Amino acid sequence: MSEIPGDLKFLKSHEWARAEDDGLIRVGISDHAQGQLGDLVYVELPEIGSSVQAGNGVAVVESVKAASDIYAPVSGEIVEVNELLNDKPETINEDAFGDGWIFVIRPSDRAELDELLDANEYEELIENDDH
């Protein structure tokens, strides 16, 4: 299991959010989540320009085993999606915190970020998950 980057915030449902320098929020799923799901075979990406609500499902990742909704960590507008995942969904398995990002949100209320778990809290959550 790879290290959890300290600059990430998390939802309990295993999405990560990274606040970038330009004020946008990049979103993906954690390394722990990809491990639980197993080999990913399909990612349903949101539409660019669509508006999303924090806590609502906006994308779907499917592994051989199961389909899993991906929730928006913050509200706002989808401004970019990771097209690479259309052909190579396994990128999430290989690099969940990096090249396996799923979409980018322009947040309408950055304060929502403060409600997310920090890396330490998330680490604690998944440790309890494993027992």
Partner 1 sequence: MTQKTVLNETHRALGARMVDFGGWDMPINYGSQIEEHHAVRRDAGMFDVSHMTVVDLHGARTREFLRHLLANNIDKLKVVGKALYSCMLDERGGVIDDLIVYFLGEEFFRLVVNAGTRAKDLAWITQQAVAFDVQVKERPEFAMIAVQGPNARARVLELLHEVDRPRIEKLGKFAAAAAQGPHGMPLFVARTGYTGEDGFEIIVPEEHAVALWQALAAAGVAPAGLGARDTLRLEAGMNLYGQDMDESVTPWEANLGWTVSLDEGRVFIGRAALEQQKAAGVPRVMVGLVLDGKGVLRHGQKVLGASGEGEVLSGSFAPTLDKAVAFARIPAGEAGDLRVDIRGREVPVRLVKYPFVRDGKACDGI
Measured from the CB atom, the residue of 62 and 99 that comes closer to partner 1 is 62
For residue 19, the surrounding DSSP H or E stretch is strand 15-19
Q: Quick one: three-class SS letters along 52-63?
A: ECCCCEEEEEEE
For residue 76, the minimal CB distance to partner 1 (Å) is 23
Cβ distance to partner 1 smaller for residue 42 or 109? 42
Q: Judged by CB under 8 A, how many residues of this single chain contact partner 1?
A: 14
Please tell me the distance from the alpha carbon of residue 66 to that of residue 108, in angstroms, as a whole number.
Answer: 32
* Positions in 33-72 near partner 1 (CB under 8 A): 35, 38-39, 41-42, 44, 60, 62, 64-67
Closest CA to 27 of 37, 42, 13, 41: 13
Q: Would you tell me which residues interact with partner 1 (CB under 8 A)?
A: 35, 38-39, 41-42, 44, 60, 62, 64-67, 86, 93
